Amino acid sequence: MEVTAEFLPSLGDLARDDWNRITGLDYPFLRHEFLYGLEKTACTTAETGWQPCHLVLRDSQGILGVMPMYLKSHSYGEYVFDWSWADAWRRSGLDYYPKLVSAIPFTPATGPRLCTREGTESASVWPSVMQALRQFASRQEISSWHLLFPEEAVSGQLLQLDTHRRTATQFHWFNDGYASFDEFLGTFASRKRKNLRRERARVVDQGLELVTLTGDEISDGDWLRFYRFYQLTYAKRSGHAGYLTRDFFLETAPSLGQQAVMVIASMAGQAVAAALYFRSSDTLYGRYWGCKQEFDCLHFEACYYQGIQYCIEHGLARFDPGAQGEHKIQRGFRPVPTWSNHWIADPKLSAAVGDFTRQEENHSQEYQRQAAQLLPFRAPD
């Protein structure tokens, strides 16, 4: 059966229901509302270095599969760092950019990437995808294609299709059927448990109150305040206003309805900080944080402890709080592997990248082993 590929310069070129019918609505970051929302609110454009180039596969029955994709003119906002590769291309007299990236912009969350219609396994479609990517890269003089944060099984399948795999580490919390936050704390060694309780008490002692809002409970004013907190925090940390625009928080994020969760911290009735999460049916994703001023331990409370408490109260199996952060280990977040796959057009540079990724994987596995030894849980009886 013949399969044709189309690369969309805007997700607005495909009807929302047609895209969502293939991707489903559970994983929030693949929804048409989210991805097209990023585009409409000027977060993902050619000017920002995130030119939409979404892949749509069709056969005689209609849409066979879809995958988010972007033409990138830099490597910001990806959380899989390849600046050294770009430098190697430059020293070889070649251009690394533009490159193709299949990812959720500014979102290092593992999840589905290639989605296929009901009854079709993605494994059967990947050969057609890779053929289309090679042809497109050749026509457009693109150096490479990068699949960021796919699920483990998909990453393994792509090793058979001329890609290289990188392995990295994040720290996630897992719900072992806890009835309460105290029950979760009961799994800690005594000293670690006391340290965490001291942090939570410190937030209360400063006169801070926290409330968790979901979906329609989050007002326009809450979204606007969150954007201001987000801007302030990015400016202090990175010297710029952040990747996301005001309109993203006022239009796109609210469009996800009950999948949006916001924790707001107030003092004397005035909001001073907030953390933003999104959720699926089984996972909470911690995404953004912002504050008007710094308070001792408030970041831990709003971004980690409130997230854990939400998962326990709503029966979610996992809490993915985002990239990096070894400080999460002592708070009960376990080291887990993440993956990315990379197809390189130039054969010599592809071989060099393959050598690098194989060595890196050994280091990553050892790092995860050592990190797991630092978890705060008490030894089993």
Residue pointed to by tokens 């309109």: 247
Helix ranges (H only) for the chain are 16-23, 32-40, 83-91, 126-140, 152-158, 181-185, 190-205, 220-238, 246-247, 298-300, 306-314, 347-372
Domain match, 109 and 40 both: yes
For residues 29 and 104, the answer to whether their CB atoms sit within 8 Å is: yes
Is residue 322 assigned to a domain? no
Is residue 321 assigned to a domain? no
* pLDDT at res. 191: 96
Domain match, 210 and 112 both: no
Domain match, 14 and 132 both: yes
* pLDDT at res. 379: 84
Domain match, 78 and 200 both: no
Band (pLDDT 50/70/90 cuts) for residue 381 is: low
Q: What is the pLDDT of residues 175-191, one digit of tens each?
A: 999 999 999 999 999 99
Q: What is the pLDDT of residues 329-379, one digit of tens each?
A: 999 999 999 999 999 999 999 999 999 999 999 999 999 999 999 999 998
Domain match, 126 and 206 both: no
Domain match, 161 and 191 both: no
Is residue 187 assigned to a domain? yes
How many C-beta atoms surround the C-beta of residue 47 within 10 A?
Answer: 9
Domain match, 218 and 79 both: no
Report the relative pairing of strands 144-148 and 283-291 from DSSP bridges.
unpaired
What CATH number does the domain containing 68 carry? 3.40.630.30
Domain match, 72 and 37 both: yes
**% of the chain residues with pLDDT over 70:** 99
Domain count, the chain: 2
Domain match, 184 and 301 both: yes
Residue 103 in 3-state DSSP?
Answer: coil
Domain match, 151 and 127 both: yes
Write out the residue range of the structural domain in which residue 304 sits: 176-316
CA distance 289 to 286: 9
Domain match, 111 and 207 both: no
Domain match, 160 and 204 both: no
